Amino acid sequence: MTATHHPPPRLPWWQRLHGALMPDYNRAAATFWWTVVGLGAVVLVANLASLRGWTLQEALQIVAGAGFAILLGLFPVRLPGTKQSFVAGDIFIFLLLLMQGPVAAALAAGIEGMVGSWRSSRRWTSRLFSPAVAVLSMNLAGRLPDGLAPHLGHLDHPAALMAAMLLFATANALFSAQMIAGVPRLKRGEAFFQWAALLRDFRWVGLAYLGSAVMASLLYLSYRQSGSGVLLVVLPVLVLLIVALHYYFLQQEARLAMQGSVDRAAAQAEQHLRELQASEQRFHGAFTHAAIGMALVDFDGRLLQANPALRNLLGLGEGDALPLHFQDVLDSADRDALDAQLHAGSPATAGGAGSFQLELRCRHADGRTVWVLAHVGQFTEPLAGAPCLILQLQDISARRQAEAGLHKLAFHDSLTGLPNRRQFLDSLADAVERHRSDASASYAVMYLDFDRFKLVNDSLGHNAGDSLLVQMARRVQENLRPSDVVARLGGDEFAVLLPRLQAEHDALLLAERLVEAMREPFEVAGQALYAGASIGITFSRFGYTSPDEVLRDADTAMYQAKALGKGRYALFEPGLHAAVTQRVQLESDLRRALADGALTLAYQPQIELATGRAGGFEALVRWQHPQQGSIRPEAFIPMAEETGLITVLSDFVLHSACAQLVRWQHMDPAWAELTISVNLSGHDITSRGVVGRVSDALTTAGLAPRHLVLELTEDAVMTRLDAAAANLQALRTLGVHLSVDDFGTGYSSLARLARLPIDSLKIVRSFVHDLAEGNHEAAVVQAVLTLGGALGKQVVAEGIETLDQADQLRRMGCGFGQGFHLGRPLSSVEATAWLVAQAASQQPLH
C-alpha cells in the first residue's frame, strides 16, 4: 500500500511572515498595521535625512530628550487607588519640540517609543507599532500648529505658545489614542473609529499630555528667558522630583492596600457579627416556636430559660414561675440518673462534654407523670459565651403507655393482675444473683396451692373458679409486705418471693398467716366456700443457681404439705425430692391399679351393740402394691382426689360393694336387711354427676337404695356445705342413707347439723379410743348420743377395740358399733364366713 502525500500549497513569503508574526491579525488589522509601520518608517527616514544639516548640539539635545524620556518611562507615576499611571517622559520630548521642532521631537519620540515597547511587550508587532505611531503622531501633531508659526518655539507671546502647545498635546493624544486602539478594534472586526471610546481613552492620555505640554512650555519659557543654565539645574531636579513622586505614590499605594485589607477585615468582622446576630435570632425563633420542649440549663441543672412547648409539657402557664432546677420537675427515681449524666458531661470533667439521651419521668402540674425523651447537648450561646446545656424534651408518654400495656400483657396474669410466671422468674433470678454475690442477701420462696380449687371449678363452673382465684390473689396480697412479690404461676398455683429476708422465722410467720387467711370462707356466687391452701417454702441457703431450681424445691415442699394433710405449710429439705419422686411414681401406679382392677375391698362388720346382730358392713378400699405391699387408704385417697382419679375409684367401690351386698342378700334371706356403707370423698359429693353415678351403681347391682349408706366425712360435708347441699338432698330423695363419718373432728355447729339431710353420725374413733368412765371424751360422746337421739339420727361408734369400750357405749345408748373388737376388715370370702359363723352362734358378741 502506498500513501500519497500532498504537500500544503506553498504560500508566498510575505503571507508566511504574516502567519508567524501576527497569527491573530485579520486582513484589516494587518493592513492597518503595515500601513502605520510602513508610513512610520518612511517618515523616520525623511526625518533622519532632514537631520543631516544639524549641529552636534542639536543631536545631543535629541539624545538627551530621548534619554530623559526613557529614564522617566522607568518611573511611571501611578495615582493611588486608580489603575491609571502617567509617564512624565513626554515633558522632555515636548520640550524638544519647542526647542528643535517636530523632526527632533519625532526622533526622540520614536526612540522612546521603541525602548518603552521593548520593555513592555515581547511581540514584534507592538515593538514596531508603538515607535511608528510616536513618529507619525509627532510629525502630524507637531506640524499642526505650524499654521500659527514656522515652529512653535518661535511664538513670542507666552500665552500663544501655551495655547499652541495645548492644541498640539490634544491632537497628539487623540491621534495616538486612535492609532493604538485601532489595531485591537480591527482585530475584533469592530468599527475603526469610535467617538465615545476615543474620548474615554483620551481622558488619561490627554490629561498626561496636557500636563506634560504645560510643564514643557514653562520650562521652555524660562529657558528662553534665562538661557540653558536653567535647564541644567531644573531638569535633573524635575527628574528627581518625578522619581520621588513615583516612589511616594508607590508607598501611598502600598499603604492604601494595607488600609484596604484592614478595612476588609473590619468589614468581614462586621459581617460575621451580623450573621451571628441573625443566627442568634434564628435560634431564638426556633427555640420559641419549637414544637418540642426546650430549655437551657447550666451544668447543675439550673433552668436558665424554657420555651413555651416545655411549659406546656409541664402544664405551666405563661405567668407560672419556672422551677429553679430541672431536677425539681423530675420523678425522684430519675434524679440520680440525670445527675450522673450531667456530671459526666460538665466541662470540669475531663473527657466529658458529650451529648446524651435519657428517658425520664416528669411531674405535670396536674400531678400526673409525663414520660419524656430528654436529649441533652452542650451549647454555647454565640453572644453570651458561657457554655451551658440545651435540653430537648419530647413527650413519649403515649409510647411508654403502650409499652407498659404490652409489658403488662407479657408479664402479668390478666385475671388477677398479678405478675405471671415469666415476671416472677425474672424477679427471682435477680434475688438468686444478689444472694450469689452477697450471701447475706437472703430470700425465701413460697409455693401456694389451693386445696379445693378444682372442686369449685368442677362443681360451680369456671366463672365461680375465676372469682375465687381473684379473691385468693387479693387475700394473699393483703398479707404481704410491699417488697414481697406474689405471682400467679398458672391454675390455682401462686408463688411468693420474699426478697431481703431478715430471718427464716419471718417466712414461717407469713406462711402461718396465709394458711389462716385461706381457711376463712370465700364468697362466690352468693355461697360461702372454704378453700384452704398448702404452702411449700424454700430458702436461699440451699445455694440455688437458677430460679427454676428454687421454684422446683418450693413446689416439692408444697407437695409435702399436701401429703401431710393439706391446709398447712412444709419446709423444703433435700430429702424431699426422693419423697416427691416416689409420690409421682405412686400416682401412676394407682392409675394402673384402677385400670387393671387391682384394687379390692375389705368389709368391716357393723354390729348392733344391744343385740350383737350384724347390721351390715363398711366397704374399705384396699391396695396391694406389687412392690410396696399394702398401702393405706389415707396415703392414696388424697392423691386420688388431687389427680381426679377419685371418681373412678369411688365408682369402683360403689359398684363392687353394692354387688357384694346383693350376693349376700341372695345367699340367705336372713341377710336380706344387711346394709353396706361406702365412703365418698368430698370431691364426690360436690361433683355434679354423683347422684347419677350412685343410682347407676344401685341399678347395675339390683340393690334397693335403702340398703346403701354413704359416709361423708364431717370435714368434707361442712366445708362444702353449700356446694353439696343439692346433691345430698337428691341422694336422700333417691332413698339412700347418708352418714357423717369421723364426727367430732370438725367444727360443725350443731345447728347446721340439724338441718342436714342425714340419717346417722359416726363418732370418730379417737373419742372411742380415749373413752373412760367420767372423762371429757365420755361427756362429749354422751352429748353426741343425746343430740343424735333428739334429732332422730342413728349413732355409730367406730374404732371399738375393747370389750369395755363396747359395753360402755352400749350402756350410754349407742346403737351400733364397729371396730377390731367387733370385727376386723375382712375380704369378701372371710366376710361371708364371718356371716355364716355369726348366724350359727346366734349370740350377741361380747
- Residues near ligand C2E (CB under 6 A): 604, 619-621, 632-634, 637, 653, 679-681, 711, 741-742, 765, 798-801, 818-820, 825
Shortest approach of ligand C2E to residue 485 CB, angstroms?
39
Cα Rg for the chain, rounded, in angstroms?
A: 66
Shortest approach of ligand C2E to residue 801 CB, angstroms?
4
Shortest approach of Mg ion to residue 542 CB, angstroms?
40
Q: Which does 301 bind (CB under 5 to 8 A by kind): ligand C2E, Mg ion, none?
A: none
Nearer residue to ligand C2E within complex by CB, 181 or 637: 637
Name all contacts of 253-256 with Cβ < 8 Å and 24+ positions apart.
Answer: 253/78, 253/80, 253/81, 256/80, 256/81
Nearer residue to Mg ion within complex by CB, 90 or 742: 742
Which residues are bridge partners to 450 per DSSP? 533
Contact 102, 151 (CB under 8 A): yes
- Residue in the structure block whose three cell numbers are 450522673: 340
Shortest approach of Mg ion to residue 615 CB, angstroms?
14
Shortest approach of ligand C2E to residue 722 CB, angstroms?
21
Instruction: Give the per-residue SS3 of 327-365.
Output: HHHECHHHHHHHHHHHHHHCCCCCCCCCCEEEEEEEECC
Q: Which does 832 bind (CB under 5 to 8 A by kind): ligand C2E, Mg ion, none?
A: none
Nearer residue to ligand C2E within complex by CB, 629 or 669: 629
Shortest approach of ligand C2E to residue 500 CB, angstroms?
44
Q: Is 821 helix (H, G, I), strand (E, B) or coil?
A: coil
Q: Which does 632 bind (CB under 5 to 8 A by kind): Mg ion, ligand C2E, none?
A: ligand C2E
Give the residue from 272, 534, 492, 240 showing the smallest Cα distance to 382.
272
Contact 293, 393 (CB under 8 A): yes
What is the distance, to the nearest Å, from the Cα of residue 722 to the centroid of all Cα atoms in its chain? 55
Please select the residue that binds Mg ion; options are 420, 679, 686, 838, rule is CB under 5 A: 679
Angle at the Cα of 125 from the Cα atoms of 122 and 130, rounded to 5 degrees: 90
Nearer residue to ligand C2E within complex by CB, 391 or 691: 691
Nearer residue to ligand C2E within complex by CB, 815 or 819: 819
Q: Which does 633 bind (CB under 5 to 8 A by kind): Mg ion, ligand C2E, none?
A: ligand C2E
Shortest approach of Mg ion to residue 791 CB, angstroms?
20
Q: Tell me the torsion sign for CA atoms 635, 636, 637, 641.
A: positive
Q: Which does 801 bind (CB under 5 to 8 A by kind): Mg ion, ligand C2E, none?
A: ligand C2E
Q: Which does 831 bind (CB under 5 to 8 A by kind): ligand C2E, Mg ion, none?
A: none
Quote the cell numbers at residue 221.
Answer: 519659557
Q: Which stretch binds Mg ion (CB under 5 A): 396-404, 436-444, 651-659, 677-685?
A: 677-685
Shortest approach of ligand C2E to residue 397 CB, angstroms?
59
Nearer residue to ligand C2E within complex by CB, 358 or 594: 594
Nearer residue to ligand C2E within complex by CB, 580 or 826: 826
Distance CA 522, CA 467 (A): 9
Which residues are bridge partners to 703 per DSSP? none
Shortest approach of ligand C2E to residue 568 CB, angstroms?
19
Q: Which does 589 bind (CB under 5 to 8 A by kind): ligand C2E, Mg ion, none?
A: none
Distance CA 585, CA 593 (A): 12
Nearer residue to ligand C2E within complex by CB, 187 or 769: 769
What is the distance, to the nearest Å, from the Cα of residue 557 to the centroid of all Cα atoms in its chain? 42
Nearer residue to Mg ion within complex by CB, 137 or 686: 686
Q: How many residues belong to the site for Mg ion (CB under 5 A)? A: 4
Shortest approach of Mg ion to residue 728 CB, angstroms?
16
Quote the cell numbers at residue 545.
Answer: 443457681
Q: Which does 656 bind (CB under 5 to 8 A by kind): ligand C2E, Mg ion, none?
A: none
Q: Which does 680 bind (CB under 5 to 8 A by kind): ligand C2E, Mg ion, none?
A: ligand C2E
Q: Which does 476 bind (CB under 5 to 8 A by kind): ligand C2E, Mg ion, none?
A: none
Instruction: Give the per-residue SS3 of 791-815.
Output: HCCEEEECCCCCHHHHHHHHHHCCC
Which residues are bridge partners to 533 per DSSP? 450
On the CB side of 611, how many CA atoms lie within 13 Å of its CA?
8
Q: Which does 823 bind (CB under 5 to 8 A by kind): ligand C2E, Mg ion, none?
A: none
Nearer residue to ligand C2E within complex by CB, 77 or 756: 756
Nearer residue to ligand C2E within complex by CB, 506 or 587: 587
Shortest approach of ligand C2E to residue 618 CB, angstroms?
6
Give the residue from 626, 719, 616, 630 showing the smallest Cα distance to 677.
616
Crossing angle of helices 56-73 and 228-289, rounded to 10°: 10
On the CB side of 463, how many CA atoms lie within 13 Å of its CA?
3
Angstrom CA distances, 422 to 413, 431, 548, stand at 10, 14, 11
Distance CA 742, CA 220 (A): 162
Shortest approach of ligand C2E to residue 563 CB, angstroms?
15
Strands (E) across 386-524 are located at 387-395, 444-450, 485-490, 493-498, 522-524
Nearer residue to ligand C2E within complex by CB, 228 or 624: 624
Quote the cell numbers at residue 670.
Answer: 336372713
Task: Show the site string, 688-717: x = touches Mg ion by CB under 5 A, - = not.
Answer: -----------------------x------
| Residues 728-757 contacting Mg ion, CB under 5 A | 741-742
β-pairing verdict for 569-571 and 599-608: unpaired
Number of neighbouring beta carbons within 10 Å of residue 502: 9
Q: Which does 773 bind (CB under 5 to 8 A by kind): ligand C2E, Mg ion, none?
A: none
Q: Which does 560 bind (CB under 5 to 8 A by kind): Mg ion, ligand C2E, none?
A: none
Distance CA 732, CA 736 (A): 5
Nearer residue to Mg ion within complex by CB, 178 or 739: 739
Shortest approach of Mg ion to residue 742 CB, angstroms?
4
- Greatest Cα pair distance, the chain, in angstroms, is 201
Q: Is 606 in the site for Mg ion (CB under 5 A)?
A: no
User: Interface with Mg ion by CB under 5 A: which residues?
Assistant: 679, 711, 741-742
